[in-house]
Amino acid sequence: MSKFLRITTPIAMGVLALAMATACSSQATPPAATSAPAAAAPAATSAPKAAAPAAATSAPAAAAEKKVDFPTKGKTITMIVPYNPGGNTDTSLRTLSLVLQKEIGTTVEVVNRPGGGAQVGVTELATAKPDGYTLGDITLPTVPSMYLDADRKAAFGRKDLVSLAQLTVDPQVIAVRKESPFQSVKDLVDAAKANPSKVKAATTGVLSVGDFSLSLFQKETGTQLAVVNMDGAAPIITATLGGQVDFCVSSLPNFIAQLKGGDMRILAVMDSQESPFAPGVKTLEAQGYKINMASVGGLATTGGTPAAVQEALRAAIKKAATSSDYTNKMKEVGANVRYTDQAEFDAYWTSMDALVKPLIEQSKKK
């Protein structure tokens, strides 16, 4: 096995180690990227409110925390989804927006800004007016791949985005249409070895989570695939159902409707354990390929947003993301909800920065 694989496979273990190293210095427990049940009860639900009691008991009224005038009544908050409508990120944020607007007291409007493997939408978020009225999806490790890859010429860096909360952790899966001749991952690998660069695989974008997954898959299996990068989940599902590609890789929630309708099948879950949303489907590791990969979704706002506004957003998002209205709906669509607060999400994000750089360099050598 190559040096690259020893470093990055299984990838979730590397992510966990890096996140733990970062978080330990601040006494925080990092989110596990792919072992959902093990980390499903994080310290997230008891996010600290340490500063408030001390200020209230030891400081005079004049020094008490000022009430921020946010949001202004009637002013809409825009929530950017950097993908086409219909995918799990779109579903998650649209569901959250309905609960969030009740908590925060103003309209939250979801807008889709697909393009450039999510870079169009993330750029709009990073360059928006830093007033808290623009929020957006941050999917890891997709976003770090934008500003860490010089070739992508991103108009932003990490400092231009401020994390608010982590919302979901979804393992990647290998999905095929129901008529596919592939009944197992071994069938797929055998076909790919017999026909180099002929078996077509779709992902949600260049250097997306799915693209990273396929880089590792090809390394681990010794295959060479014809990778087709699209913008978002809806296009890859359409291409797979229509036979334009042989299989696709994305987060499991993207395929729930097709699975329920019998139009698609899951060949493997890229996690350390099977998913309750795909009962009976073996993990990729159980089928002999040591690859774990997850898509971790969260919310951010524009860098430079006033701290008081950030805290108002985080408080409202926490209430919305941990509410039964949101969590029950997400269970229905097969999403693995795993809320963590800003500190934990930041620690995980930092670990992704360290992980992604060599993946980018390796991908360019393909």
- 324-348 pLDDT, tens digit per residue, is 999 999 988 888 899 999 999 999 9
- 280-290 pLDDT, tens digit per residue, is 999 999 999 99
Residue 117 tokens read as: 């493997």
- 208-229 pLDDT, tens digit per residue, is 889 889 988 999 999 999 999 9
Give yes or no on whether 3-26+75-169+294-364 and 171-269 have one common fold: yes
pLDDT of res. 334: 82
DSSP code per residue over 241-275 = HTTSSSEEEEEGGGGHHHHHHTSEEEEEE-SSS--
CB 251 within 8 A of CB 91: no
Amino acid at 62: A
pLDDT of res. 366: 55
Q: pTM above the 0.85 mark?
A: no
Q: Where are the domains of the chain?
A: 3-26+75-169+294-364, 171-269
CATH fold group of domain 171-269: D-Maltodextrin-Binding Protein; domain 2 (3.40.190)
Residue 308, pLDDT > 90, answer yes
Residue 27, pLDDT > 50, answer no
CATH fold group of domain 3-26+75-169+294-364: D-Maltodextrin-Binding Protein; domain 2 (3.40.190)
Q: Please, which pLDDT band fits residue 277 given cuts at 50, 70 and 90?
A: confident
Amino acid at 366: K
pLDDT of res. 133: 98
Q: Parallel, antiparallel, or unpaired for β 161-177 and 294-302?
A: antiparallel
